[in-house]
Chain A
Amino acid sequence: MQKSFSQKRLQEWIIERCIYMSGIASIIFVCLIFLFLAKEGFSLFKNISIFDFLLGQKWYPISTPPFFGILSLIVGSLYVTLGATVIAVPIGIASAVYISEVAPPRVREILKSGIEVLAAIPSVVLGFIGMMTLVPWVKNTFHLSTGLTAFSGALMLGFMAMPTIVSIAEDALNAVPKRYKEAALALGATRWQSIWRVILPAASSGIVAAVMLGIGRVIGETMAVMMITGNAARIPDNIFQPVRTLTATVAAEMGETVRGSDHYYSLFAIGIVLFIITFCINLIADFAVHRKAK
């Protein structure tokens, strides 16, 4: 019982179509995600101007009249992200350099598996730990009325971004040909000189990508920030005040809105803002990697 030739061709055609469809599935999903966000989110702009949305300072979605200004949320996200970046980038890159260039093999293995373990701890668990330990610590150390501040969030998210930054930066450092380092050392450079003048510049594009992806992770992080930044939707005067981020707003309010209300649409509009921010971050990371490829 041989299948006829045309049957075989049909079978092959179907299978190849399936593979092709899956191949473009990611494109379809990304487009769908954006379309659905846009469809619901842009409905908001019939009632509220886009400037009032982006630059309005008041986020009172359920008062009468409601205010849908997300500037305070954007600033909140910015505070937390900048703080986390300032903490995570130097320590992360330094650890990556140590792991890839200095550490003896045994130490390297320990550090690498440690970072893997750190990356595997879910954000809700880190948020819980932050709530129980970091928040009281911040409150007592800086004599604040509450420990639920942008600073606590930044500290915690800094830890969370580190595994991403370390592992990608380490890959970038490892990709630098060994002969560069050997040439530098042969010319009499010390380890540090060869790292600073030769290896880091050669790996710079990968390190930029690592930093960008770390930042992307921090901006998109939801649970931990929701648990430890205090969720006050106002523009903070300094980093030791409660803030509310874009992601936390969506997470906290999505379940309580009525479908079709302005509040509901505004949460989708926040989703669009998040989507665009992460898209740009990936664009920069991708650009950095491809600049290297040339």
Chain B
Amino acid sequence: MQTMDFDKAFQRTKAKRYFMDQAIVYVLFLCAFVLLFILFSILTHLVINGVSSINVNFFIHLPKPVGEVGGGMANAITGTLTLLFLAVLFGVPIGLAAGIYLNEYADYRFAQVVRFTIDVMNGIPSIVFGIFAYVICVLPMKTFSVLSGGFALGIMMIPMVTRTTEQFVRMVPNQLREAGLALGAPKWRVIVDIVLPSSIGGIMTGIMVALARVAGETAPLLFTAFGNRFWNHNLMQPIAALPLQIFSYAISPFEDWHRQAWAGAIVLIVVIFSINLLANYFMNRRHRFLNGQ
């Protein structure tokens, strides 16, 4: 009698537990599905609104004044590419060297301090980088410029590049370093000729991911690169950038400009995705390299 009660009770709690389990797993699934659904609706919305405005003209023409149909964002596209190029010039060498420093030179305690600062720097709002570049570049030069925009994006890349470089340099086996040192090579030669080449795939991935992140940044460019409706071939002059152009068209009241902004958004996202794809490419190559193929 006793045992039968126990069995019944056990069966009941078991059923309850399993029901609970099923229900909650279903809820978890719904949450993940909500994420995918949002993403899907965002992408379809973009494509529906923007794809009709993407044509050859969009890539080869300057923006048209209000009221004239057509025009493109050729200057903004090249402007974004120029800014990204400058950002790489500013950010990558410092980030790369910092990652090497953290792993190869720094003692443990100090490395912890540097890592913490890097995390802090990574968390600083992009608009604050914008003000910083404004004070340090724009005010002394007395003009908005390509350089200041590239500088703002470049320093934003540093924390990300540093962290990934450190992570991948650490994966290089110590035997390789020791073999180099035993042959009499100085430490920096070992780093340049052995450590970097064997972790280059991962490092490139890190650089690409950092680049993809700053490519869409608008806030730091508002008062550095500033935007420009025309071509600019001077590093000391304001330049157009896709995010800025999208922003100024998006907040305008004109139907035509909204269409242009949708098209610009698609182009910007395609640029960012291509950079991400490059990142994946380097990552895969790294795996193949590690597997000895």
Flag if B31 contacts A95 (CB, 8 Å).
yes
Q: Which of B25, B132, B218 sits near A32, CB closer than 8 Å? A: B132
Q: What CA separation (Å) do A53 and B158 show in the bound complex?
A: 33
The 0/1 profile, CB within 8 Å of A marked 1, for residues 82-112 of chain B is: 0000000000011111101110111000000
Q: Which of A98, A128, A255 sits near B32, CB closer than 8 Å? A: A98
Given A29-B158, A279-B120, check contact A123 B32 (CB 8 Å): no
Interface pick from A20-28, A42-50, A58-66, A236-244: A20-28
Residues of B close to A267: CB separation below 8 A: 131
The 0/1 profile, CB within 8 Å of B marked 1, for residues 257-294 of chain A is: 00100000001100100110011011001100000000
Flag if B117 contacts A192 (CB, 8 Å).
no
Residues of B close to A129: CB separation below 8 A: 42, 45-46
Given A30-B121, A114-B36, check contact A120 B131 (CB 8 Å): no
Most buried by B among A103, A192, A268, A281: A192
Flag if B29 contacts A255 (CB, 8 Å).
no
Q: How many residues of A are counted as interface, with CB atoms below 8 angstroms from the partner's CB atoms?
A: 82
The 0/1 profile, CB within 8 Å of B marked 1, for residues 120-140 of chain A is: 111111111101110000000
Flag if B121 contacts A223 (CB, 8 Å).
no
Residues of B close to A30: CB separation below 8 A: 117, 120-121, 124
Flag if B106 contacts A255 (CB, 8 Å).
no
Nearest CB of chain B from residue A274's CB, rounded to whole Å: 5
Q: Which of A23, A29, A122 sits near B216, CB closer than 8 Å? A: A122
Q: What CA separation (Å) do A193 and B19 show in the bound complex?
A: 12
Residues of B close to A250: CB separation below 8 A: 127, 131
Q: Which of B96, B187, B250 sits near A124, CB closer than 8 Å? A: B250
Flag if A26 contacts B123 (CB, 8 Å).
no
Flag if B29 contacts A98 (CB, 8 Å).
yes
Nearest CB of chain B from residue A124's CB, rounded to whole Å: 4
Flag if B219 contacts A25 (CB, 8 Å).
no
Which range contains the number of B residues in contact with the other chain? 35 or more
Flag if B123 contacts A254 (CB, 8 Å).
no
Most buried by A among B28, B29, B162, B186: B28
Residues of B close to A102: CB separation below 8 A: 25, 28-29
CB proximity to A under 8 Å, residues B226-278: 226, 243, 246-247, 250-251, 258, 261-262, 265, 268-269, 272-273, 276
Flag if A193 contacts B125 (CB, 8 Å).
no
Nearest CB of chain B from residue A215's CB, rounded to whole Å: 10
Flag if B45 contacts A133 (CB, 8 Å).
yes
Residues of A close to B98: CB separation below 8 A: 22-23, 25-26
Nearest CB of chain A from residue B206's CB, rounded to whole Å: 15
Flag if A281 contacts B20 (CB, 8 Å).
no
A172 within 8 A of B: no
Flag if A192 contacts B102 (CB, 8 Å).
no
A227 within 8 A of B: yes
- Chain B contact surface mostly: helix
Interface pick from B54-62, B63-71, B134-142, B170-178: B134-142
- Chain A contact surface mostly: helix
The 0/1 profile, CB within 8 Å of B marked 1, for residues 72-103 of chain A is: 00000000000000000011001101110011
Flag if A122 contacts B114 (CB, 8 Å).
no
B116 within 8 A of A: yes
Q: What CA separation (Å) do A192 and B21 show in the bound complex?
A: 5
Residues of B close to A193: CB separation below 8 A: 17, 21
27 A–B contacts, CB within 8 A, in A order: A8-B186, A16-B187, A16-B188, A19-B97, A21-B97, A23-B97, A23-B106, A26-B98, A26-B114, A26-B117, A26-B121, A33-B128, A94-B31, A95-B32, A120-B272, A121-B216, A121-B272, A122-B215, A124-B243, A124-B250, A127-B250, A128-B261, A190-B20, A220-B127, A251-B222, A255-B222, A278-B120
Residues of chain A touching chain B, judged by Cβ–Cβ distance below 8 Å, are 8, 12, 15-16, 18-27, 29-30, 32-33, 36-37, 40, 90-91, 94-95, 97-99, 102-103, 110-111, 114-118, 120-129, 131-133, 159, 162, 166, 190-193, 213, 216, 219-223, 227, 247, 250-251, 254-255, 259, 267-268, 271, 274-275, 278-279, 281-282, 285-286
A-B contacts besides A16-B188, A37-B128, A118-B39, 11 pairs, CB < 8 Å: A22-B94, A25-B94, A40-B135, A98-B28, A124-B243, A128-B250, A193-B17, A220-B124, A254-B134, A255-B222, A279-B123
